[in-house]
Amino acid sequence: MATTEHALTGTAPTAGDDRLTLHSFIDALPKVELHVHLVGSASVPTVLELARRHPGGPVPTGEEELRRFYRFTDFPHFAKVYEAVSNLVRTPEDVATLVLGTARDLAAQNVRYVELTVTPYTHQRMGMPMPAITEALDLAVRQARDLYGIQVAYIFDIPGEFGPEGCRQTARHALEHPPEALVGFGLGGIEQMRAAIRDEIREAFRAARGAGLRSLPHGGEMSGPETIWEVIEGLGAERIGHGIRCLDDPRLVAHLRETQIPLEVCPTSNVCTGQVPDMAAHPLPRLLEEGLFVTLNSDDPPMFDTTLTGEYRVAADVFGFGRAQLADLARNAVAASSLDGPGKQAIVQEIDAVA
């Protein structure tokens, strides 16, 4: 883990780190995004285009109405909205368009590499064959590199609310028709619904890990430490999406401190879905004070009216992080990524040059 004394103590920025200068530093900082979902990354204009192309569903076709549609009351409400938007993605061309849109938006923020979470079962349910989905994902990787200079990798995740079939079909897709850039296997959705299919989830992860994919599930976002223990002990998690509920269990905090399993923290997402009451109450500073390995991420940026750059600005403006802390968070994301050694070294050198 790339850490400094500043990163662990939460020391406020120096007087020279005025807000405008710090924002300019954040803008220039090379970044890596590890926790962003394909459908959740669709820009408002893209969603409006899809909604108008496929009318009659619950997704609004006007911009103001769509922005109101994105005001969430709790996580189940967010999951319902997310599913409605997912159902607008009906062709392989739609899939490729979403990837390229995300790549374009991230490249504009100086993001060099992204691990994009795709939930292929939702596209299968809309009638897309696995090979067609994979072909679209492969094409988009090449176009993202050529057009925007950003490297895209994929994580296939199980939608926990779709039961055993979602587990089986996601694992089958990952094993039988994997995109060339597939690096990990994940688990999302409503955490409280996982217990009923725990064995099926574990079996899917055993198969994926056996095929060389990294275990990158969500845990401890909307439920307690027991969910985090399950993804560690039952799924062999190498990185954990969110993980903020670990602070409720001192033994778990000690384990995460010792093992340095990275936590993909998404502050704005946690506020928008009601997992924390407001940004000032977010546990990000305490996670760092406890010596845990943390990365900053955007999750579903247009749905939460944020960006990865915006998350770094939150860290600076709300929590008082200075340049050293922000650069350390950027280095952490590189270290926790699935890039090879030379790929990591190249981005870290860029970060060091800016810092």
Active site amino acids: 221
DSSP classification of residue 241: E
Sign (positive or negative) of CA dihedral 243, 198, 157, 262: positive
Going by C-alpha positions, the residue among 122, 130, 146, 114 that lies closest to residue 41 is: 114
d(Cα 108, Cα 115) in Å, to the nearest integer?
A: 16
Task: Give the residue carrying structure tokens 């072909």.
Answer: 135
Could you tell me if 202 and 234 are in contact, meaning their C-beta atoms sit under 8 angstroms apart?
A: yes
- Helix (H) or strand (E) holding 333, with range, is helix 323-336
In single-letter form, the type of residue at position 213 comes to: L
Could you tell me if 121 and 156 are in contact, meaning their C-beta atoms sit under 8 angstroms apart?
A: no
DSSP classification of residue 179: -
Going by C-alpha positions, the residue among 221, 305, 301 that lies closest to residue 265 is: 221
**Where in 53-178 does DSSP place strands (E)?**
111-118, 151-159
